[in-house]
């Protein structure tokens, strides 16, 4: 497993000799979600296939998973692969990534990182764009944002979460409202869970009309908050870019 140890050491920025069973290898020490996924893509590329690594926190747990035994922090259960979790109405997830962290490769359709994080349809969509890296980053952010709204989605490998686009080019994922934006340096996405059900019928038509009007007002307010948040985040990104250019 020396090859695996060397790969992990590169991403956690330690000497291989310092890597032990208790060494953290999760997002707390690997800077950014993209680099965590790149680390596991590199491990897969080295011939050590591993899936469902979201719950792995230490190097010891990684070795246990590679040896075919459950990670110490994972309870043994007969539950289905993706345990269901209720979607919290209006649960919101947001993610921002540095586009430079995405690897530039000769063939996106063959590279382990892209194959393990995007569906074949998503890869085809991105490579047809003028700036594929920005498109990949936007989709990746959308998937991270979705994971932050629902534990069930977090359990699904990224290459099984597919972000589609409607006829107007708007990103679509069932049950969610998604918005993606990017500059040449950063990508950002917001995911908001839609209403899980309809309100009960009112006692009479007058009450029903009042309820519908109230729902419209609430929906308009939520949209206003959503876009205000998105504009504020984009403003922060723009400031960061301008400050970097001025340095």
Opening angle at CA 92, ends 80 and 83, nearest 5: 5
Cα 126 to chain centroid distance, Å, stands at 16
Q: Which helix (H) or strand (E) holds 57?
A: none
- Crossing angle (nearest 10°) for helices 59-66 and 2-12: 150
Domain architecture of the chain: domains with CATH:
2-66 (1.10.1200), 92-246 (3.90.470.20)
* pLDDT tens, per residue, the chain with 247 residues: 788 889 888 888 889 888 888 898 887 777 777 788 888 888 888 888 777 777 788 888 888 888 876 544 443 333 344 444 454 556 899 999 999 999 999 999 999 999 999 999 999 999 999 999 999 999 999 999 999 998 889 889 999 999 999 999 999 999 999 999 988 899 999 999 986 533 334 444 444 455 455 656 666 666 676 777 778 787 778 777 777 776 6
Query: Rounded to whole angstroms, how far apart are CA atoms 121 and 113?
Result: 15
- Greatest Cα pair distance in the chain: 74
């Amino acid at each position: 497993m020396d090859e695996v140890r060397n790969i992990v050491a590169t991403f956690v920025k330690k000497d291989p000799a310092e890597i032990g069973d208790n060494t953290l290898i999760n997002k707390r020490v690997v800077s950014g979600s993209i680099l965590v996924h790149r680390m596991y893509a590199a491990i897969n590329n080295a011939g050590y296939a591993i899936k469902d690594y979201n719950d792995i926190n230490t190097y010891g747990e990684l070795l246990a998973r590679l040896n075919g035994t459950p990670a110490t922090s994972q309870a043994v259960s007969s539950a289905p692969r993706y345990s269901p979790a209720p979607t919290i109405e209006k649960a919101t997830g947001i993610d921002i990534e540095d586009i430079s962290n995405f690897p530039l490769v000769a063939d996106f359709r063959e590279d382990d990182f892209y194959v393990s994080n995007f569906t074949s349809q998503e890869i085809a969509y991105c490579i047809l764009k003028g700036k594929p890296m920005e498109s990949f980053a936007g989709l990746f952010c959308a998937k991270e944002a979705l994971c932050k709204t629902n534990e069930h989605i977090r359990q699904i490998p990224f290459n099984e979460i597919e972000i589609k686009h409607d006829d107007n080019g708007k990103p679509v994922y069932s049950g969610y409202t998604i918005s993606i934006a990017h500059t040449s340096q950063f990508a950002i996405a917001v995911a908001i869970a839609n209403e899980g059900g309809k309100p009960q019928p009112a006692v009479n038509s007058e009450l029903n009309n009042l309820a519908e009007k109230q729902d419209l007002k609430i929906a308009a307010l939520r949209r206003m908050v959503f876009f205000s948040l998105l504009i504020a985040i984009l403003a922060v990104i723009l400031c960061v870019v301008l400050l970097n250019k001025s340095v």
